A and B are shown apart, each in its own frame.
Chain A
Amino acid sequence: MPQTEVKKDTVKVKNQQAVTQPASPWKDAWRNFKKNKIAVTGTIIVLIFTIMAIFAPWLTPYSHSSGQLVDRLQPPSSDHWLGTDDFGRDILSRIIHGARISLTGGFAAVFGSIIVGSLLGVIAAYYGRWVDTLISRIFDVLLAFPSILLAIAIVTILEPTLQNALIAIAIINVPNFGRLIRSRVLSVKEEEFITAARAVGMNDRRILFKHIIPNSITPVVVQGTLAIATAIIEIAALSFLGLGTQPPKVDWGMMLSESQQYIVSAPWTMIFPGLAIMLTVLGFNLMGDGLRDALDPKMKS
């Protein structure tokens, strides 16, 4: 690059442009995202909960699994900021530990469904014909069930553990991602640059991985962020029904379920886990909306 700078005076203007870093589509998106205050707020909420989850053992003032029965059902105080539950366990500590399961569970379930859903969606869209028909009908069948009922059914068949709850949530989310990426790939593969790739002589695999998938994943990123929010609710719901997390592990849904009887006498046992769920879900939703705006293809060029 330095050689061109000395060559001519006329290229001076061009060289000034050269100094500014060329923006990749992802960098462009990041710049748009930063401008969106609501989305940034959502991201901060998500980050706070993530940090809580990662450093849970160092952040919690009390044990999350054992408590002092003498201190049972204490209202919030300076000792127990968010009060205690029916076993005298500190609610703040339990919420912090619960964040681990909710967040990792949410990520894991969504990650699993993205992988499986994208794979099926790409195969369906790219190869078409009977493959497409078969995969699309499977998606239709899965979508025909109310998703939480399907999850409950899967967990009861498999045996109620956290792992199975995550598998169930992953399965019920697969058709959403599958359909999303299928429609994306269907439109991207008609684009002219795919024809160009074929004219160059590329094989299917290279076209798929270098051209079609990179141009199809943005909606999946957005949908994935939003799906984590729903997955967290679903994990909480399954745990609430006793089909997810098992003691001594703790989960926000399980906390809600345990506090049912005390809703009137000790409302803090229910309010705070509920708030935690609500805030996390809100955070992910705001972040997802922001991502969608930032990655919107119409914002390009």
Chain B
Amino acid sequence: MLLRLLEATEGTISFENQEVQNLSDVEMKKLRREMQLIFQDPLASLNPRQTVEKILEEPLIVHKIGDKKERRQMVKEILEVVGLDEYHAKRYPHQFSGGQRQRIGIARALMTRPKLIIADEPVSALDVSIQSQVLNLLKDLQEKFNLTYIFIAHDLGVVRHISDRVGVMYLGRLVELTDVDELYDNPLHPYTKALLSSVPIPDPELEVEDEDVIGGEIPSPSNPPKGCAFHTRCPFAMDVCKEVRPAFEEKESGHYVACHLYE
């Protein structure tokens, strides 16, 4: 929605003090240079009939940056930055491994030197060993290019590793938002608590305690329950939860939560 790939139905989205949803096509194109996307499935997000060189060059052509020679030079540089070799430029996406493909996806997002990168589960399609490589690459790039990430993930280990601030969503709404350490040490919302307790602990000796594990099925996201969307599965649900949707408010300093328990 921030990139206007989907139009917002209500509310406002702003990026550097501009309200994104009201921009004209020309303004939007300028803005797209500033924010780029990394996709979940690196193979699906790369055109199978283009060489890596063409894929990486294209954002530059679209935004009219540099001439052909300069663009080729930039492609070479960026390949090195993301840890690929120069000769990879002439290859096609299907000739790479998953980790390499994701590096290409990251390289493409970097081509226009954006300020913001939205990463949609960029490592969930990768092997665990490759995940850490890609995550560390993303961290390095963040420092190098002074980037902001909006990092979407479901793997809580990954989230803890990469995030500064974490927002927890349930059925399309934020239920909790705070700094990463605060969230992991002091989760407030019952859903966040349940999430954190469901992280598997790598110790086979440990007995499984399922006190905190929540039961039930996720209700339909297109028709979420009335009141607090989580009340159907919440162990602390009160009567008010079934009727009134809790406001998303700052309950402790820098710690936002939407839950009636803290009112």
Task: Give chain A's interface residues, CB within 8 Å of chain B.
Answer: 1, 4, 11, 14-15, 18, 22-25, 191-193, 195-202, 206, 210-211, 214-215, 300-301
Contact = CB atoms under 8 A, between A and B. Distances in A.
Contact of A22 (B28, B29, B44, B91): B91
Contacts of A15: 87
Interface in B25-58: 28-29, 32-33, 36-37, 39, 41, 43-51, 58
A286 to B, nearest CB: 26
A14 B84 CA distance: 11
A301 B94 contact: yes
A196 B90 contact: no
B151 interface: no
Contacts of B46: 193, 196
B36 A193 contact: no
A215 B46 CA distance: 12
Contacts of B59: 200-201
Contacts, number: 80
Interface string B70-87: 000000000000000111
By secondary structure, the A interface counts as: helix
Contacts of B41: 192
B35 to A, nearest CB: 9
Interface in B81-105: 85-87, 90-92, 94-95
Contact of A300 (B37, B48, B50, B86): B48
Nearest to B60: A200
B5 A195 contact: yes
Nearest to A193: B47
Contacts of A300: 48, 94
B87 A191 contact: no
B63 interface: yes
Given A192-B41, A206-B62, A215-B48, A200 B87 contact: no
Contact of B90 (A4, A14, A22, A200): A22
Contacts of B43: 301
A201 B47 contact: no
B37 A1 contact: no
A201 B63 contact: yes
B171 interface: no
A179 to B, nearest CB: 22
B45 A195 contact: yes
B83 to A, nearest CB: 12
Given A197-B47, A200-B62, A201-B29, 6 more contacts: A4-B86, A14-B87, A193-B48, A196-B108, A199-B36, A200-B32
